Structure 1
């Protein structure tokens, strides 16, 4: 088998191979690389996401979606749910066609099954947050040497909205070390519990939950409630992991590189204090930026081909290098120590503090 080689910080062209309805408002799609041979497989860590670029209304829009498939397979699987004002998600649900090409950035993300965990884990999800933990569960169960005890607890509005329902039931029937429970807001037509996942419900489903390692993904409010519940139940939060598209604060100090600025009148000085110029020599492009504003905004205003997918300092798609100038940054996720030392930044999490010169490659 041949591992697919991802281009560095550039999208690869993929084809939507299959698309099907998972629930009334949710679809799954599989993607294969353009010109891929039958021996090609894809490597990633279960729990990670890819960044998908799709042309919508004449513009390529990028969004991050968690993978629900397992590593080392010949296709990548995503499950996407309709959301209010979801420009890309709703386009995928309504309009993406089998055979259509899309752009894909390599898998990324720090939420994955290789985080340190014990031999007993609980996977908690709600809505489409089920996708990364489903990848974790399937991968662990496919490993004949793995003995991890998995308790999978999912929350949904009603039975027909439970993503992968039948597949999860089959997994529970086939594996003694896999336990599956569902909490529904409206349990009509099912034998599942009705209500919300309170501390009492979590304890009822999984009596030893406080002694397990937890992997959590879902809407922000759901994750906040589950984190509080698990903490109050006595879980060691060093064993708690959640997917988050909010950047971690960088521990890197402000970086100031050499830049000579000659100021004239007081008016010039006042203008220089509040405004800066972002210059990208390779494209002969530049744009004005407010001091303290995000570098990504200036790069987009300069109309250079920069990808901004998560806009949260998580996916790494907007990596670039500040050659000259001063900046601060709030995230260094996906950057290596060498890249940080050499002025690489994530443009969405980099704040302009003076005139800067930028290289995209």
Structure 2
């Protein structure tokens, strides 16, 4: 079967084929081309795609991890309701089967091709389960693979465990797949109640320090798990986590004392747009104010959807994720992680 061809830049239109409830606060759905022959989607397990959905007359973009496996004819995602989650809550409540959405190609450095050993721990909480579920299913589907997998997941209560029955089935069918679930409220289940402390991790998986680890979940959860794994003696060279925090800047700051005033101009010749902003302002905010068509999905320098080129002017940046060395040399930046330090001229093409 032929592969789906992702464009190098820009979005494609895919249709929501199926949608169903996973828990009372989360839904899963699949995406595929609207018409034509079935095509397989290629990506690395653990990666995300960026969805563009029109809400109240405005296109909103967000990055979501894939939970399906590569080389299938539909992409699967699972989205959980979150407080003030404009796009997530729209998807849970209003996305319909047959609805068209915009999609940017898979991206992200949190994936299964990172070096790892024959024993791995997959740790997740809440909807952070999606990328590690993709990893687990991919490894188990490969009959030539003998990786031993210990899947450790944290949730609030048993009816909020995403993919609960699927995890149980996977453990029954594969001797090399082990599942441990920790619940804040374990009522109605046989699972342990509490939080994933060092002691709990060691109890679940006595050899966890000898494993490679892939971690995804809320920021606080990931910080605690990383600290726990370090304390248990894990080799952090084979520890990976999904990060939505931009890397620290490697570019020296431009001295603000050399600036004649605190205002700078952002000019986008392609659209004849110009806007005034303050020195140090984030470029994406200025571009949105100028009403030019720029996509901002993660807003943290991870997904690469807001890539553009600075053709004139001085700037600093906090992330170059997804940019190649050649692109960096040519002045490409991620607008959400670029700070204007002088008048800038921007190319979006």
TM bucket (normalised to shorter chain) is over 0.9
For 2:76, the equivalent position in structure 1 comes to 77
Which residue does the alignment assign to 1:234? 233
Partner SS for 1:293: coil
Give the Å deviation of 1:57.
1.5
- 2:321 corresponds to 1:322: no
Please tell me whether residue 247 in structure 1 is matched to residue 275 in structure 2.
Answer: no
CA distance in 1, matches of 2:329, 2:249: 14
Q: 2:11: which partner in 1?
A: 11
Instruction: State whether structure 2 residue 289 is matched by structure 1 residue 290.
Output: no
**Which structure: larger Rg?**
1
**Residue 117 of structure 1: aligned partner:** 116
Runs (4+) off by over 6 Å: none
TM-score of the superposed pair, with normalisation by structure 1: 0.94
Quote how far apart the aligned CAs of 1:329 are.
1.1
1 CA distance for matches of 2:83 and 2:229?
29
Give deviations 1:209-233, integer Å, cap 9, x for gaps: 0000110111111111111111111
SS of equivalent to 1:273: coil
| TM-score, scaled relative to structure 2 | 0.97
5 Å matches for 1:18-97?
Answer: 18-38=18-38, 40-97=39-96
Structure 2 Cα separation of the partners of residues 312 and 287 of structure 1:
22
Find out whether 1:357 has 2:345 as its counterpart: yes
Find the aligned partners of 2:51 and 2:145 in 1 and give their Cα distance.
Answer: 32
Deviation, 1:188, is: 1.2
| CA 280–210 in structure 1, closer or farther in 2 if over 3 Å, else same | same
User: Could you say what secondary structure the match of 1:163 adopts?
Assistant: coil
Are the counterparts in 1 of residues 254 and 341 from structure 2 also a CA contact under 8 Å? Answer: no
> Per the alignment, do residues 224 and 270 of structure 1 end up closer, same or farther by CA in structure 2, a change over 3 Å counting?
closer
2:164 equivalent in structure 1: 165
Contact 2:312–2:344 at 8 Å: present in 1 too? yes
Unaligned runs of 5+ in 1: 257-268
**Does 1:144 pair with 2:132?**
no
Question: CA 1:193–1:31 in structure 2 vs 1: closer, same or farther (change >3 Å)?
Answer: same
Give the secondary-structure state (helix, strand or coil) at the position aligned to 2:9.
coil
| Structure 2 equivalent of residue 202 of structure 1 | 201
